[in-house]
Structure 1
Amino acid sequence: MVRGIKKKFKQPIMYTFCKGATNQYKIICQLKKVIETVHLTGLRVVATISDQGTANVGAINILNNETRLYHVKNNSEYLDEFYEVELHDKQRLKLVHIYDVPHLMKCIRNNLLTKNLSYTIDNKTKYAKWSHLEDLYKMDSAVPDCKMLPRLTDQHIFFSQRVSSTMNFLASLNIIGTDAADTAFICLFFDKLFDSLNGSFDKVTDGKIYRTAVKKNSIHHTVWAESLKVLSTMSFVLENGRKKSVPTIQNWMTTIRSFQTLSKVLDLNGIRSFLPRHLNQDPLECFFGAIRSIGSKNPNCHAFDSAYKTLVLNNLVSTHSPGSSCEEDFTEGSLSSFKNFFESAIASTSDFENQIVISADLPPTLHNLSMTTSFVRGQAQNYIAGFIVKKLNKTFFKNCQTCLTQLCTEKVSEHHSLITAREYQSNHPTLKYPTSTLCSIVQQIISFVGEKMSNVCLHPNIHSTLTNALNQQLIFPFELNCSEHKDLFRLNIIQFTVKMMIQHYCTEVNRILLGKRKLQDNETDPVKKLAYTWYLKHSKTRKTQGKFNLI
């Protein structure tokens, strides 16, 4: 498949069938033929992308050796950052090779499951361990009605700034092991590195300064140079202390150097900026996902051929394959201007109006939490309070300084410890720091919803039921001084918080039903218990609960 770096297009151009894996010599032959043919169309190939398959790595090594041998024979300068392919007119085309960045991340994660990751910072050897991620997840799962890391599940653990900052926060208080700070560093390290190689925005979005376009003097070059130093000290270590050779780390370094070289090549050719996300295998993954969606998940040769033609004629149908292990590739279609031959009418579905009233009432949920869990719960709820202010500011307050001054404080206290830890840049705070009074209000709403959800979730109009009950029972200790917003503030904050907590509750129950989250040992919510019982009864594949099934 050909993918545009500057223009948003993708074009499938070739496929072959083979029995077993294609060997490296056939890959080289096919690669040279494709590059030469594409070059004849007027497109210029500057990079190739693949995963870390043994045959792929072997093919690139052979091409590198061929290039070096050619320059030795001809007594010419050899640059090891390129490999070269000879075209039909005897011209030699210089190319860089990039290993698919999302697959590199998955390989780091999978190796960390069974090994410790050793690295050196300031002449000190440190170790990142999977057990630290397990401890963090268990601590977060113990909080009943809200989560510090709501995106984590039994089957979905990832490296991110949020995971890193939360782990650092808990390690600093000795809630989890203090050596977890070493793992937190690795989470942040790979989060920055991944963002710098996977940017899809021209400007900074959500505080992610590295997830932007690469330019001549952008911050990416600093991150890449620093990352190479750290990666050069990394190695995976088995439990017995013996080092295990893993090609992933070397391939990370190869990919970074290829990006450094490619940015210089593009700049020389007049391309002043490019989005790194255009340089991965997501378009190909989406295309294969679309082929599987047309027929069977494991198509035979005839089915694959038919699906391939259908997708090309229908301009690839979609840019994303739902449920696949890749992100949307942001292309506008294939390079060829094929029109759809068939028009599919999407029938509009009307909402089901006849709601079924369930007469069963389950008891409310009561929690008996330890002091540590209560502390973590309070910090998470305070962070949510700041998040609510930030969201309401966009839709309700509209940057009203009178309201924001009364709801937020510039004096950071111990109540804001998690918020402070979550800042992307400590010298440039972007999060909201709610007052203790607002934190107390939000905590009351969250606790009320968490207690009552099991009692009302089987009835219609859950949101209005909880909102009306809170509106009657909740006592607000203050009124806004702003005449424009004070009358509607109470209702807005209750409605927004209730909606958010209902969504979180439903997500948690659905994860239990799907087997993505195990039931906590001290779980008291009757709905979650019923959901877990249903999962155990209807699950087709019996899984050992509590394991991190990530490979």
Structure 2
Amino acid sequence: MGQGKQICAKWNHIQDAYEMDNTSGKFRILHKLTDYHVVPSKLASKKMKVSYAAQVLSHSMASMIHLLTQKGITVNNKKMEESATGTAEILSFFDTLFDSVNGTSLYGEGGKKLKCIVSQTSGHIQFWRDARRSLCNMYFMKDGTTEKCTPPSLINWRTTLAGLEHLLSCLKVVKFPKKQWTTEEICTLIDAFGEQKFVGPKGFQRCLYWSSIPNLEGYDTHLPKSDDFPGRPTAGVVAATSSSKEDLNTPLKDT
């Protein structure tokens, strides 16, 4: 990972850091974590949640393990193994990976450079390419065995990153309209989708979505058949889709 070096991460390092942090009372660093985040026997009894993964594979946990390892801190006769630095690096990698696909601000904040919108200079693309290579080389091993396994999550992350890069390349050729839609214009477009009226917020959302897409230039303009839209659109109202169904169904090659 990184410069071709092999790194090993162990779950018991995470559990040790959690237990050592628990002795700090109200001054805990990992205050969001509970036994259901970390203790294996209790993990199995709870439904899997993305929020749990994000809270464990976090910058706080990586920093805690790194600090305990580098400073050789002993808590209740427990000391972090030197090899735990590898665990800290892996946790930091996944924390950055989560940030890179969850940015909502214009610029990264709090030292998280990739927790922002994607741009030509944001560094997302290069990080995603490096991350895909690292994910390709990752595998899991059970304690006391030499059997390697690659869980679906690692494969799916590679697919997601490849898809995001592909989406960005497509968006580069799309021209978004500069005008702001008025309520009257939106209602006119929605009414144009036939005699059947769509009641409720979900129906309105679907109609608004398909009404707005024609303003993205660079796509073929034909209305796909869908159970969501039983009414026939009037002339001049079109929806944009991919020019080929094969484009949508063909999996991206992981290079």
**Are the counterparts in 2 of residues 171 and 181 from structure 1 also a CA contact under 8 Å?**
yes
Which residue of structure 2 aligns with residue 114 of structure 1? Answer: none
Kept in 1: contact 2:103–2:115 (CA 8 A): yes
Q: Are 1:260 and 2:165 counterparts?
A: yes
Alpha-carbon separation, structure 2, partners of 1:200 and 1:335: 24
Aligned partner letter, 2:175: G
Paired residues for 1:91-170 under 5 Å: 120-156=1-37, 157-170=55-68
SS of alignment partner, residue 128 of structure 2: helix
Question: 2:36 is aligned with what amino acid?
Answer: Q
Q: Report deviation, 1:255.
A: 1.2
Q: Match for 2:12: what amino acid? A: S
1:188 is the counterpart of 2:73: no
Alignment match, 1:374 = none
Report the 3-state secondary structure (helix = DSSP H, G, I; strand = E; otherwise coil) of the residue aligned with 1:128. coil
Q: State the Cα distance separating 1:205 from its structure 2 match.
A: 3.1
CA distance in 2, matches of 1:335, 1:241: 51
1:334 aligns to 2:215 (yes or no):
no
Deviations 1:219-253 (A, max 9, x none): 11121122122112111112212112323222211
Letter paired with 1:125: Q
CA contact (8 A) 1:238 1:244 kept: no
* Structure-2 change in CA distance of 1:220 and 1:121 (3 Å): closer
Q: Residue in 2 aligned with 1:223?
A: 127
Cross-structure match for 1:493? none
Match for residue 241 of structure 1? Answer: 146
Change (3 A) 1:123 1:222: closer
Unpaired stretches in structure 2, ≥5 consecutive residues: 38-54, 74-79, 177-198, 209-255
**1:244/1:172 Cα in 2 relative to 1: closer, same or farther (>3 Å)?**
same
For 2:150 and 2:123, how far apart are their aligned partners in 1?
31
Structure 1 residue matching 2:140: 3-state secondary structure: strand
Q: Within 5 Å, which residues of 2 pair with 1:529-540?
A: none
Question: How far apart, CA to CA, are the structure 1 residues paired with 2:118 and 2:27?
Answer: 37
SS of residue in 1 equivalent to 2:172:
helix
Gaps of 5+ in 1: 1-119, 272-311, 317-332, 338-551
Q: TM-score, normalising length from structure 2?
A: 0.57
What value does the CA root-mean-square deviation take over the aligned residues?
2.1
Paired residues for 1:375-394 under 5 Å: none
Give, in angstroms, the shift of residue 126 of structure 1: 2.0
Write the mapping of 1:307-456 to structure 2, written as runs, cut at 5 A: 313=200, 315=201, 334-336=205-207
Deviations 1:474-520 (A, max 9, x none): xxxxxxxxxxxxxxxxxxxxxxxxxxxxxxxxxxxxxxxxxxxxxxx
Contact 2:21 2:28 in 1 (8 A): yes
Is residue 251 of structure 1 aligned with residue 152 of structure 2? no
* DSSP 3-state at the match of 1:334: helix
CA distance in 1, matches of 2:119, 2:151: 32
Amino acid at match of 2:59: Q
Q: Is the 8 A contact 1:224 1:256 kept in 2?
A: yes
Once residues 209 and 270 of structure 1 are traced to their aligned partners in structure 2, the CA distance between those partners, rounded to angstroms, is 27
Cα distance, 1:180 vs. partner? 1.1
**Matched residues in 1 for 2:168 and 2:125: separation?**
10
Corresponding residue for residue 10 of structure 1: none
Q: Using a 3 Å threshold, how does the CA distance of structure 1 residues 216 and 123 change in structure 2: closer, same or farther?
A: closer
Give the superposition deviation at 1:187.
0.8
- In structure 2, what residue type is equivalent to 1:155? Y
Contact 1:132-1:180 at 8 Å conserved across structures: yes
Q: Does residue 1:171 correspond to 2:69, yes or no?
A: yes
Superposition pairs for residues 294-309 of structure 1, below 5 Å?
none
CA contact (8 A) 1:164 1:184 kept: yes
SS in 2 for 1:268: coil
Give the match for residue 241 of structure 2. Answer: none
**Does structure 2 conserve the Cα–Cα contact (< 8 Å) formed by 1:216 and 1:263?**
no
**TM-score, length-normalised on structure 1?**
0.28
Deviations 1:417-455 (A, max 9, x none): xxxxxxxxxxxxxxxxxxxxxxxxxxxxxxxxxxxxxxx
Letter in 1 for 2:163: S
Name the CA shift for 1:154/1:233 in 2 (closer, same or farther; >3 Å): same
| Distance in 2 (alpha carbons) for counterparts of 1:162 and 1:172 | 15
Inter-CA distance 245–161: structure 2 relative to 1 (3 Å threshold): closer
| Counterpart mapping for 1:398-547 below 5 A | none
Q: Which runs of 4+ in 1 moved over 3 A?
A: 120-124
Query: Using the alignment, how far apart are the partners of 1:229 and 1:155 within structure 2?
Result: 31
* Higher Cα Rg, which structure: 1
